[in-house]
Amino acid sequence: MNYKIAPSILNADFWNLEKEIKAVQCGGADFLHLDVIDGQFAPSISFGPTVIESIRKHCHLVFDVHLMIHEPGKYIPDFVNAGADIITIHAEGNYHLHRLVHQIKSYNKKAGVALNPATPISAIQYLINDLDMVLVMTVNPGFGGQPFIPNVLPKISELKELIEKKNAKVDIEVDGGITPAEAKMCADAGANVFVVGSYIFKNKAFDDKKRAVETIREALCAI
């Protein structure tokens, strides 16, 4: 299985961002997960396209932009111009999800839809063949460092079944509270992309963030 690791910089040390990102790149990360939060859709404020554009100039990883913002359609061109490769919007509150997904794809970017822990798979049932990725939130959106919600695991298996039934080509990304143990559980349920924030960037066990990424990979390789 081709598993992808996507470090989230939400809880990184922004003073040392260059060092932090270089370390995860060296550790074999595939994506860089960029959490954009506006304080309206979810209860905190992070960063926007200007920060992403600055990182883009120096980082070759796939930019996986997770938009937790109100009215994302207004800002999709800004994130495209900032260098996003994958743009994920939430199913919740976006009344014209199909239109937004095709807006993202019209820029030749990959489109994802994220589901909060309480949102059922049926929210994307009729859209699944249009998507490149479904992001299954394993915490409520807004903050890094929250504990993984195990009740979401059956949703991952249900999504995997839907993808197979509809013959779709869609990545299943999990996001929130992922450590090697949760990565393994989610992979067993069908996930193939793993967002990892605090375990890498706020972990006293690792001086070297590179090693933290490697331990996630080792857990997935052991499956």
- Residues comprising the binding site for a divalent metal cation? 33, 35, 66, 175
Q: Read off the tokens for 169.
A: 């080509």
Q: Which two tokens stand for residue 220?
A: 């997935």
What is the binding site for ligand 5SP (CB under 6 A)? 8, 10-11, 33, 35, 66, 68, 139, 141-146, 175-178, 195-199
Query: Which residues in 30-124 belong to E strands, given as ranges?
Result: 31-37, 62-68, 86-90, 110-115
> Which is closer to ligand 5SP, CB of 145 or CB of 168?
145
Q: Catalytic annotation on 30?
A: no
Q: What's at 102, amino acid-wise? A: H
Pick from 56, 66, 90, 217: which binds Fe ion (CB under 5 A)? 66
Per-residue x/- track, 2-41, Fe ion (CB under 5 A) = ---------------------------------x------
Annotated binding site for substrate: 8, 66, 142-145, 175-177, 197-198
Catalytic residue among 35, 64, 132, 171: 35
Judged by beta carbon distances under 5 to 8 A according to partner kind, the member of ligand 5SP, Fe ion, none in contact with residue 90 is none
With beta carbons less than 8 A apart as the criterion, state whether 9 and 16 touch.
Answer: no
Assess contact for 132 and 110: CB atoms under 8 A: yes
CB of 202 to ligand 5SP, least distance (A): 7
How would DSSP label each residue in 109-153? -EEEEEE-TT--GGGGTTTGGG-SEEEEESS-TT-SSPPP-GGGH
Instruction: Examine the residue annotation and report whether 175 is marked as an active-site residue of this protein.
Output: yes
Site for Fe ion (CB under 5 A): which residue of 175, 191, 193, 209?
Answer: 175
Helix (H) or strand (E) holding 5: strand 4-7
Of 82, 84, 86, 65, the residue nearest 170 (C-alpha): 86
Residues labelled catalytic: 35, 175
